[in-house]
């Protein structure tokens, strides 16, 4: 049963207007204030546990004490969990500013700044094979996907460059530098996943963008560690909107399981001066999805979904620009 929350939260908002909570040093804001400012109506889907927010164009699902959110049907991982204090719901200000707001009201490019050139970054290469499943190595399939994507993007009117065109090792720190040198407008790193310990159950796509300063990454190990600010943080808002459009297109057009939009401090994302994302296109370790990744026709479909996501992003950030024929 849907229980209307607005009345009760509205009453709370009188008491708590301008109220902000500090939890473990993080600034939280009243969800009801943000919802009102953005014309959202709020319901408890399950009392004190799950919420729905609707306005004329968007639908958001939130879960108390969880970072799992759904925005217009796409899984988006929040930086901090949703809090419920006696029926009053709080969301981290950093999530309102750098997760929800840029997806719902994407920032436009400055006049004349059109998206013409795209740098594709096939993950791994040379002595770095990436994931290895049986005799199949990730580096081979990221390059094959990049080559297919280059063809399709070129046909769609984009100028396309690759950080590697052969089975060679390109240092992580060089990849974003190459994109900058060649004046790329977008940077898209391509990877495939593997989960040998749960091969039969784990599948689907994920898209990563750079973690905002002061927030933890989904991937907290290795390159995900640290909380500093990097060059790539200048594009926080465009990064997440691009990641969202790509994940939406992959899940809707390819029908893969939606593992969500995530944040990480991968080297290639930290150093990018243009909007940048890292796509994990699927699990090589899954019996069905793994077989598909080896199939050129499936990679063609995946490339089409990525092109579609890029075109949707372009359409929104360049409202008056002409989109090249696809
Ligand atoms: Zn990889």
pLDDT digits (tens, 9 = 90+) for 26-83: 899 999 999 999 999 999 999 999 999 999 999 999 999 999 999 999 999 999 999 9
Write the pLDDT tens digit of every residue in 241-290. 999 999 999 999 999 999 999 999 999 999 999 999 999 999 999 999 99
Ligand 1 center from residue 107 Cα (angstroms)? 29
Ligand 1 center from residue 124 Cα (angstroms)? 6
Distance CA 277, CA 205 (A): 13
Ligand 1 center from residue 318 Cα (angstroms)? 31
Largest CA distance in the chain: 63
Closest of 320, 303, 315 to residue 153, by C-alpha: 303
Cα dihedral 306, 309, 313, 318, rounded to 10, equals 80
Ligand 1 center from residue 68 Cα (angstroms)? 24
Q: Taking a C-beta distance cutoff of 8 angstroms, is the pair 161, 117 a contact?
A: yes
Q: Taking a C-beta distance cutoff of 8 angstroms, is the pair 153, 146 a contact?
A: no
Ligand 1 center from residue 116 Cα (angstroms)? 26
Ligand 1 center from residue 102 Cα (angstroms)? 27
- Kindly give, in sequence order, each residue whose CB lies less than 8 Å from that of residue 296, ignoring residues fewer than 6 positions away: 144, 148
Q: Can you tell me the mean pLDDT for 149-154? A: 98
- pTM comes to 0.91
| Residue entry with tokens 């594009």 | 235
Task: Write down the pLDDT at residue 16.
Answer: 43
Ligand 1 center from residue 106 Cα (angstroms)? 28
Closest of 112, 190, 197, 192 to residue 150, by C-alpha: 190
pLDDT mean across residues, the chain: 90
Residues in the chain: 326
Task: Write down the pLDDT at residue 23.
Answer: 74
Write the pLDDT tens digit of every residue in 106-151. 999 998 899 999 999 999 999 999 999 999 999 999 999 999 999 9
| Residue entry with tokens 């399981």 | 257
Q: Can you tell me the mean pLDDT for 176-187? A: 97
Query: Domain 3-92 falls in which CATH fold?
Result: Copper Amine Oxidase; Chain A, domain 1 (3.30.457)
Ligand 1 center from residue 130 Cα (angstroms)? 5
Structure tokens at 270: 């930290």
Residue 37: its H or E element: helix 31-37
Structure tokens at 306: 């990525």
What proportions of the chain, in percent to the nearest 5, are helix, strand and coil? 35, 30, 35
Task: Write down the pLDDT at residue 323.
Answer: 53
b/e per residue 14-31 (b: at least 16 CB within 10 A): eebeeeebeeeebbbbbb
The distance from CA 109 to its chain's CA centroid, rounded to whole angstroms, is 19
| Residue entry with tokens 């998206």 | 115
Ligand 1 center from residue 71 Cα (angstroms)? 26
Q: Which CATH code, of 3.40.50.800, 3.20.20.70, 3.40.630.40, 2.30.30.100, is assigned to 117-317?
A: 3.40.630.40
Q: Taking a C-beta distance cutoff of 8 angstroms, is the pair 39, 225 a contact?
A: no
Ligand 1 center from residue 194 Cα (angstroms)? 9
Q: Taking a C-beta distance cutoff of 8 angstroms, is the pair 53, 100 a contact?
A: no
Ligand 1 center from residue 123 Cα (angstroms)? 5
Please report, for the chain, the start and end positions of each structural domain, with discontinuous segments joined by +.
3-92, 117-317
CA angle 89, 104, 16 (to 5 degrees): 25
Closest of 251, 278, 284, 245 to residue 264, by C-alpha: 278
Ligand 1 center from residue 297 Cα (angstroms)? 21
Closest of 305, 209, 188, 326 to residue 250, by C-alpha: 305
Ligand 1 center from residue 131 Cα (angstroms)? 6
Ligand 1 center from residue 233 Cα (angstroms)? 22
Ligand 1 center from residue 274 Cα (angstroms)? 21
Percentage of the chain exceeding pLDDT 90: 82
Ligand 1 center from residue 191 Cα (angstroms)? 4
Q: Taking a C-beta distance cutoff of 8 angstroms, is the pair 125, 168 a contact?
A: yes
Q: Can you tell me the mean pLDDT for 204-229? A: 78
Ligand 1 center from residue 157 Cα (angstroms)? 28
pLDDT class for 324, splitting at 50, 70, 90?
low
Task: Write down the pLDDT at residue 4.
Answer: 32
Q: Can you tell me the mean pLDDT for 292-302? A: 98
Q: Taking a C-beta distance cutoff of 8 angstroms, is the pair 11, 18 a contact?
A: no
pLDDT exceeds 70 at position 322: no
CB neighbours of residue 148 within 10 Å: 18
Task: Write down the pLDDT at residue 160.
Answer: 98
Ligand 1 center from residue 285 Cα (angstroms)? 13
Ligand 1 center from residue 122 Cα (angstroms)? 9
Ligand 1 center from residue 208 Cα (angstroms)? 12
Distance CA 198, CA 206 (A): 17
Ligand 1 center from residue 22 Cα (angstroms)? 37
Ligand 1 center from residue 276 Cα (angstroms)? 16
Ligand 1 center from residue 57 Cα (angstroms)? 35
pLDDT class for 226, splitting at 50, 70, 90?
low
């Amino acid at each position: 049963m849907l229980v209307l929350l607005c009345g009760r939260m509205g009453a709370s908002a009188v008491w708590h207007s301008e109220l902000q909570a500090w939890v473990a040093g993080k600034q939280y804001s009243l969800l009801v204030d943000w919802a009102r400012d953005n014309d959202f109506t709020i319901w408890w889907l399950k009392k004190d546990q799950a919420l729905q927010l609707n306005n004329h164009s968007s639908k958001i699902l939130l879960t108390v004490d969880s970072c799992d959110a759904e925005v217009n049907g796409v899984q988006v991982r929040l930086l901090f969990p949703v809090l419920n204090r006696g029926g009053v719901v709080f969301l981290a200000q950093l999530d309102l500013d750098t997760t929800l707001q840029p997806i719902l009201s994407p920032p436009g490019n400055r006049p004349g700044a059109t998206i013409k050139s795209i740098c594709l970054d096939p993950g791994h290469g040379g002595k770095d094979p990436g994931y290895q499943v049986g005799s199949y190595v990730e580096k081979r399939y990221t390059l094959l996907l990049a080559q297919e994507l280059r063809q399709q993007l070129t046909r769609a009117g984009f100028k396309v460059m690759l950080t590697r065109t052969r089975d060679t090792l390109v240092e992580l720190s060089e990849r974003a530098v190459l994109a900058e040198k060649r004046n790329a407008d977008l940077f898209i790193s391509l990877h495939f996943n593997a989960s040998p310990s749960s091969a039969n159950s784990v599948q689907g796509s994920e898209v990563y963008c750079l973690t905002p300063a002061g927030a933890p990454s989904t991937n907290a190990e290795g390159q995900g560690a640290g909380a500093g600010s990097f060059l790539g943080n200048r594009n926080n808002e465009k990064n997440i909107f691009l990641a969202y459009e790509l994940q939406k297109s992959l899940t809707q057009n390819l029908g893969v399981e939606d593992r969500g939009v995530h944040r990480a401090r991968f080297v290639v994302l930290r150093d990018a001066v243009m909007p940048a994302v890292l796509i994990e296109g699927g699990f090589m370790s899954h019996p069905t999805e793994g077989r598909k990744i080896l199939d050129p026709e499936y990679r063609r479909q995946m490339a089409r979904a990525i092109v579609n996501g890029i075109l949707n992003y372009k359409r929104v950030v360049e409202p008056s620009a002409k989109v090249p024929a696809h």
